[in-house]
A and B are shown apart, each in its own frame.
Chain A
């Protein structure tokens, strides 16, 4: 186990709704990254948070937003859900030290109907 936790495990929403996913990072890690993994694909980088600020973003629209809290836990919010948002959402915690790898949480499976 990596020490990274995510909630909820599974979620079913309908188009147009909003969703919030949560992640608690591993002790000692100050950076949280979020990834979207569609079926049959590798994880795609959404964004990264360091010290409560977004410091990197992938090719995702603004309806994907996030927060990081002083204890380094994080939230991913997705507004106006679309069918293509159905995926496994993975959170990874790490340090800005490049010698420290990223450890992933168990993920949240989001289904949009």
Chain B
């Protein structure tokens, strides 16, 4: 059975700090790893990673995948209060379903 473990489960930082969120996984016939941000309801897409070692970047957010060690990290630099959310990691295997971790609850205090 596919499995995704995220750490930490929660994190409290001050504005301006840099955070690193972790995601490890086990999946049959890996296709992709996805990061989502969930503030109130719908998870909003951040990144999809398919290849090892290639960093994806969007503004202050970046992510990288290690397919050998089966993990990914999501970095957020110069955090802002608007970054407060649950960050979800999911993997997609050969049957196309997404298997999610429990998420990391990030709180950024002013």
Residues of B within 8 A of A105 (CB): 42
Task: Give the Cβ gap from A103 to chain B, nearest Cβ, in Å.
Answer: 6
Interface size, B (range): 20 to 34
For window 16-46 of A, CB contacts with B under 8 Å fall at 31, 33, 35, 40-45
Interface size, A (range): 20 to 34
Number of A-B contacts (CB under 8 A): 66
Residue of B nearest to A6 (CB): B42
**A50-B103 Cα distance, complex, nearest whole Å:** 28
From the candidates B6, B42, B96, B100, name the one contacting A94 in the complex (CB within 8 A).
B96
From the candidates A42, A48, A92, A106, name the one contacting B103 in the complex (CB within 8 A).
A42
From the candidates A35, A96, A107, A109, name the one contacting B96 in the complex (CB within 8 A).
A96
**A104-B43 Cα distance, complex, nearest whole Å:** 6
For window 70-113 of A, CB contacts with B under 8 Å fall at 88, 90, 92, 94, 96, 98-99, 101-107, 109
Task: Give the Cβ gap from A93 to chain B, nearest Cβ, in Å.
Answer: 12
In the complex the two chains form, is B100's CB within 8 Å of A101's CB?
no
Residue of B nearest to A90 (CB): B42
**A106-B45 Cα distance, complex, nearest whole Å:** 13
For window 1-46 of B, CB contacts with A under 8 Å fall at 4, 6, 31-32, 34, 36, 41-45
Given A98-B32, A98-B92, A45-B41 contact (CB < 8 Å): no
Chain B 73-110: CB-based contact to A (< 8 A → 1; otherwise 0):
00000000000000010101001111111110000000
Residues of B within 8 A of A (CB): 4, 6, 31-32, 34, 36, 41-45, 48, 50, 88, 90, 92, 95-103
